[in-house]
Structure 1
């Protein structure tokens, strides 16, 4: 069978590899799609004010066509930059066309909702989006899995939402946005992690809403001017939370918790590991509850999406980076569809050993999110 990317034709060689895509941006077609899931008051408020003036996208002209792949059908775009508005389009255009067995949905409004000063309103919007996702996405295709949207700045409300839907077999995690008033390892967030532990859910972190609403500026020097500058701020946005999780002792209190960092890349992880280990050896008396090397916690508890895939000038360098961060356990394939720089699974790490690709393209995600392959999967 002739190989055609995104044509719906899948070669037998492609299907030898089970694929779990851990970063698929789903959404809704129009703001009005959420009205049925809100109280009358909140629906009127959302219609008039939306997210209270938050843009959620500070930097325009973010590549591609309105932030999306140029071959993406604009008629299927969601109400927001880089989201898909229709589940059927996602099933055919992404899953069928690329032989993807499971798609972990990471779209939504968690970042904007968590940046609102009114936490009750933010939590109501998250509940509405979750109910919409259940009806218009999860019910449409057995290959979809859902990260629940939660308001990270309303830990008790977030825990209640996790308890409401966390036992659904399609729910595999909860969404956090990197933008936040305080690092995620702090005890303020413990009710959320307790709820995740009760339901066996992972925490999925995605950059977004930095500098919005109640959140601090996206960098120590304030706001950059251009989108290309803002992309360089992603690694430190993830790194501050990663260090907080470890040094605040979250994994000693919640030993089963997993944290997935998607659309983060991974080349930045290696020097952070080295620095954390070195500093812990000299300063460990400050955090005596951290009983192991930070690098050990990292390999046991953190997972990183492959997208955007770093491409060193020396192709061999990527092999060293994967080895340095224990990539056979820590990396998970992510397409980031439908963003302009979305990655093709057939071209991602295609020169890596087959056993490593199996880990990255399926097994790590299956273990992290406690997934089971649907009957529709040819690999089941």
Structure 2
């Protein structure tokens, strides 16, 4: 396959792309640090459902939408079926795996088996034992103008994941996509799939304008709490959002977009006393990095001390509730300011509340070494963040790979 550049002499061609070779340095890091003997659970990994979209389209229940999606797929390609918007995730083609991996020969496998085989390659390279798999282009559906598109795509994707992917391997898990723009469909999704093999929770794409504290979602949260399953709010960006569209560079749209929506929803969750209403519901904030958390803690505590009458349901400071929530590592900022990062870890009780995520195969992915190499963490803290916290949060059975391991309590 050829990737065209600004001039023919800069064109790239790699007909034999192989994920294992592509991640050779990651494998070397894992071996040098002995990470193959450390439980690693990747709480946020991705695949491109558009690489294998036809089987998912077949699961769309609405026959009119199914035919429309099929026609659009044949005419415009996979991404346009879901939602097109400007983006520069592949940095103008300079991150090769975005295009090459579509044509990778995975031991002759095709379709769903190929998706699983490709996942095993990158997981083995990173020393990841288990991974929670999320879709990618579907993360734009939160701002889709047609609610029934989000609902039908969620139904089709989740059914494909539960029936075709999760039964075939114990190493892949999923927090299923919730069509949050339709509260009733969201509730029915949890009711249908809670307890299914490999389903370890449910995920809401944060890039949307629905207030997550609204009464329409109370019965869904109650159902999740009763089932003992967490809810994750997965950040994303949307360059067509009215606020973010003021950014003329992708770097700005990405840096702010992936942070802003989760910060807003988290603030609303706390100030509307949702932790008091659902004290046993585990809440996870995914792919926003960490730097926004101390900022929001301080801002909310500051205002709460002056305006606590607006939040009569709170019995603690906002930051106290935030320290009881869970966060994923990626993308972990402040690589040149270890003091700030160490303070952030302390403020969020990282040893018990932080869970490793790679975000592979995205351009800003993190290897497990971003945690293992931190000098201010004890080995036990590293092991908890890399895997043991996830075992506890998701009640994971890891006995097939670590028969003597028990979750921390």
TM-score w.r.t. length of structure 2: 0.80
Instruction: State the partner residue of 1:20.
Output: 41
Point out where structure 1 has 5 or more consecutive residues left out of the alignment: 78-83
Structure having the larger proportion of residues in helix: 2
Distance 1:273 1:286 in 2: 17
Distance 1:25 1:109 in 2: 10
- Listed one character per residue, the Cα deviations across residues 166-212 of structure 1 (whole Å, up to 9, x for unaligned) are 11141111121121123322323223312322322211122236365
Instruction: State the partner residue of 2:321.
Output: 297
TM-score w.r.t. length of structure 1: 0.86
Instruction: State the partner residue of 1:335.
Output: 358
SS at match of 2:201: strand
Distance 2:328 2:114 in 1: 23
Distance 2:359 2:155 in 1: 24
Distance 2:288 2:68 in 1: 33
SS at match of 1:342: coil
1:31 to 39, 48, 53: 53
Instruction: State the partner residue of 1:87.
Output: 116
Distance 2:259 2:93 in 1: 25
* 1:11 shift after superposition: 6.5
Instruction: State the partner residue of 2:18.
Output: none
SS at match of 1:260: strand
SS at match of 2:320: helix
Count of residue correspondences? 365
Question: Larger deviation: 125-134 or 367-376?
Answer: 367-376
- Listed one character per residue, the Cα deviations across residues 140-185 of structure 1 (whole Å, up to 9, x for unaligned) are 2201111111110111111101111111141111121121123322
Distance 1:12 1:324 in 2: 28
Distance 1:101 1:336 in 2: 15
The 3 A distance-change label for structure 1 pair 179 and 71 is closer
1:306 to 329, 337, 343: 329
* 1:116 shift after superposition: 3.1
Q: Is the 8 A contact 2:83 2:137 kept in 1?
A: no
Instruction: State the partner residue of 2:341.
Output: 318
- Listed one character per residue, the Cα deviations across residues 91-115 of structure 1 (whole Å, up to 9, x for unaligned) are 1x22222322211112256534433
Instruction: State the partner residue of 1:270.
Output: 294
1:370 is aligned to 2:387: no
Q: Is the 8 A contact 1:68 1:338 kept in 2?
A: no
Distance 1:178 1:56 in 2: 18
Say which structure, 1 or 2, has more relative contact order (CA 8 Å, 6+ apart). Answer: 1
SS at match of 1:182: coil
Question: Larger deviation: 341-350 or 273-282?
Answer: 341-350
